[in-house]
């Protein structure tokens, strides 16, 4: 029996996979890494790509991640994957948005509930548009 390593793939919203594998491949930031059992402890950032699990005599299992963190312990591999598309500038935009929302909320004291809600929805739509533009630029 070949040596195996325990693999957990989790995202903030749900657990994606938990099981064992003989070999794990992950898209680390500086190139794909292959992790065999008894690998030295390591932490690395992941970029968007596939996490592949090899098991002897079985078909390869493939999971897509849009980024995240990979933690390696000698017998455990943990993939903390992001569900959302993340980039520093998108995060920045979201932060500005949240700030602006707070300022707006303080500014219009007399505005009623419906108006505030409509405004929040508008702000959300604007943020999404910005994100989309950015994604297009990247491609």
Partner 1 sequence: MAGGKEIRTKIRSIQNTQKITRAMEMVAASKMRKAQDRMHAARPYAQKMRSVVAHVAAASLEYKHPFLIERDVARVGYIVISSDRGLCGGLNNNLFRMLISDMAQWHDNNMEMDFCTIGNKALMFFKRFGANIVSQATHLGDAPAIEALIGTVKVTLDAYTDGKIDRLFVAYNNFVNSMTQTPVIEQLLPRKPSEEEEVKHRWDYIYEPDSKVVLDQLLTRYIEALVYQGVVENGASEQAARMVAMKAASDNAGDLIHELQLVYNKARQAAITQELSEIVGGAAAV
Binding site for partner 1 (CB under 8 A): 8, 10-15, 18, 28-30, 33, 40-45, 68-69, 71, 73, 78, 80, 82-84, 86, 91-99, 101-102, 105-106, 109, 116-117, 120-121, 127
Q: How far is the CB of 129 from partner 1 (least distance, A)?
A: 14
Residues 6+ apart with CB under 8 A from 98: none
Smaller CB separation from partner 1, 19 or 58:
19
Q: What three-state secondary structure class fits 10?
A: strand
Shortest spacing between CB 54 and partner 1, in angstroms: 21
């Amino acid at each position: 029996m070949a040596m195996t390593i325990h693999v957990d793939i989790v995202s903030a919203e749900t657990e994606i996979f938990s099981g064992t594998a003989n070999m794990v491949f992950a898209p680390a930031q500086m190139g794909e890494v292959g992790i065999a059992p008894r690998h030295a402890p390591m932490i690395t950032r992941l970029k968007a790509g596939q996490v592949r699990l090899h098991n002897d005599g079985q078909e390869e299992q493939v999971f897509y991640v849009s980024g995240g963190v990979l933690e390696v312990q000698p017998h455990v591999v943990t993939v903390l994957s992001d569900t959302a598309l993340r980039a520093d500038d998108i995060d920045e935009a979201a932060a500005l948005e949240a700030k602006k929302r707070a300022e707006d909320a303080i500014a219009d004291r007399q505005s009623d509930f419906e108006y505030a809600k409509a405004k929040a929805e508008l702000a959300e739509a604007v943020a999404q548009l910005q994100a989309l533009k950015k994604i297009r630029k990247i491609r």
